[in-house]
Amino acid sequence: MPFKDGYVLSTVLFIAISVASICLTSISCSPGGESAKADTVFFNGVIYTVDDAFSVAEAAAIKDGKFIAVGGDEEILALAGPQTRRIDLGGKAVVPGLVDAHAHMMLYSLGLDRIDAMGAPGAAAVAEMVAARATMIPAGEWITGWGWDSNDWEGMEFPTRGMLDEAAPENPVSLFKQDGHAAWVNSEALRIAGIDRNTPDPPGGTIIRDSRGNATGMLIDTAMILVNSNIPEAPFEKQKELLTKAVQKWLAVGLVGIHDMGDGPEEAALVKALIDDGAFPFRIYFSYDNTLDNLDELLAAGTEEYGDGRLVIRSIKAFIDGSLGSHSAALLEPFEGRPGDTGLQITSRDELTDLAERCLNAGFQLETHACGDRGARIILDAYEEALSRVPTPDHRFRIEHAQMVDADDIPRFAQLGVIPSMQPTHCTSDNPWVIELVGAERAAGLYAWRSMLDAGSYIPCGSDFPVESINPMLGIYAAITRQHEDGTPEGGYNPEQRMTREEVLRGFTIWAAKAAFQEDRLGSIEPGKRADLVVLDRDIMKVPPLEIPGTKVLMTIFEGDVVYNSEPGVTEEQ
């Protein structure tokens, strides 16, 4: 959709002047400057603009996909002409379009076609799902899935291949753990991958073995690639269909964009194809995976903006370590009860420094995953060194997750201008088992949002979906309570690290925009910005916290168009 970037629509007067000059060449202008009127006005609402002052307005006017005025009902309704669409908000709360600052576009969308083992109460329940799928497909066809989490199961033991062999003897099976750092596979999958007792662990990964040295069917981190590289990709048209379905689900929870973590040129091409089809009311802030063979070529090709900003490619995603839950986070001190086990480091400091330097030289942002405190420190050191070689004032390099950061390293984020990109729901999902992994003392310092904010950082918030739910309301709730949805534990996990409602709303809007260099056009309801907003069925800034997870999105508006409408509650006039 073309738009006129040449002028800033900040006052009505200015619009009138602009329109007057456009009218000289336009045949669609009616006498009297009718086209100066808004395309749409929303009024009678409680609009959290998320501007600097966090001001609240009653109404907003939209023209050509952007906000042209925000303020009181009377003033805004005056901008409505006979052709203007008027939407009465009926006193409902409105927030800017939400953005998930850390998500996995393809894992989620392709996952819509996979076995969903999220919340499965045990390995047997997952095996049952696999057995059911096996009866529906021909022998030899892959069965894939994700979402199981042995940390929630009795004994917390990793399952083994035997159960899957029984469920699907003639189909290869590969099932991702919820955190994406382990895969549970069957014997047929191991056979296809050529994994036997003589196969060495790949760098950065582990093939879990029994006492006789045979693979148990559990592959950790890079070892998953040995199996998963054999799974055929879904055809392009199927991928388009699934991504389209995914976008509808995202819009329905109030998301208008995501920061996609680590994909490749094929995935970028997929998004471009949907944009070209004219059916993509969504924004992907895209990062290339740093392990792509042609990374140098991609860096040399430079950053890219496609489809009026619906796809922006200006970031590289890297990993320093794995996850706490899979014992693969890089820690300064060993895991509890595992002397000498300080986790896995996937990338060396020198490699990361070199990558950071290449990113700076090419004008790309770098987003590096770190769950452990050693991981975060190595990244900060590497970024610092690269920045000393290639001084770049506005680099906005990020650390993804930053779940465990040594107290000495927290102020270094703001000092170096490194952004902690964090996912509030990880705190509540991990807390029940994380104490066992790192001990109570270290667990108390995890997910240190308050410390980060007080040290001068801002936190773009995300979910890491499909690791967690796509619903940002759950993230908002977790951030302000550090409690499960049933209100436990009382007071929350380390409540001194909570965010305020205002902070977490910034985290899912303007701070997410800022972490993507987009705060000039996205992230708040202010004149000149893209007209993205979400109408909610309750006021999340005021209702008791326990009511936040149940919040329903009534409408999602993307650049002035209603792209999701749940119908009741909001009346539209005209």
List interacting residues with Zn ion (CB under 5 A).
Answer: 261, 464
259 or 314, CB closer to Zn ion?
259
CB of 543 to Zn ion, least distance (A): 30
- Between CA 187 and CA 269 the distance in angstroms is 35
User: How close are the terminal C-alpha atoms of the chain, in Å?
Assistant: 25
188 or 464, CB closer to Zn ion?
464
CB of 50 to Zn ion, least distance (A): 25
Element holding 87 (H helix, E strand): strand 85-88
219 or 261, CB closer to Zn ion?
261
CB of 49 to Zn ion, least distance (A): 30
Element holding 22 (H helix, E strand): helix 12-23
CB of 228 to Zn ion, least distance (A): 16
41 or 371, CB closer to Zn ion?
371
Report the interhelical angle of 472-481 vs 424-443 (nearest 10°). 30
How far is C-alpha 31 from the chain's CA centre?
47
108 or 153, CB closer to Zn ion?
108
- Between CA 475 and CA 429 the distance in angstroms is 11
CB of 461 to Zn ion, least distance (A): 13
- Between CA 9 and CA 26 the distance in angstroms is 19
58 or 367, CB closer to Zn ion?
367
CB of 106 to Zn ion, least distance (A): 12
- What would the two tokens of residue 523 be? 């992230």
Site of tokens 């409690």: 483
Q: How many helices (H) and strands (E) does the chain have?
A: 18, 25
464 or 503, CB closer to Zn ion?
464
User: Could you please report the per-residue DSSP string of 347-403?
Assistant: S-HHHHHHHHHHHHHHT-EEEEEE-SHHHHHHHHHHHHHHHHHS--TT---EEEE--
CB of 466 to Zn ion, least distance (A): 9
CB of 262 to Zn ion, least distance (A): 8
CB of 220 to Zn ion, least distance (A): 16
Closest CB to Zn ion: residue number: 464
Q: How many CA atoms does the CB half-sphere of 537 hold within 13 Å?
A: 16
250 or 564, CB closer to Zn ion?
250
Site of tokens 């990709």: 233
149 or 464, CB closer to Zn ion?
464
154, 122 Cβ separation under 8 angstroms? yes
- Between CA 184 and CA 161 the distance in angstroms is 7
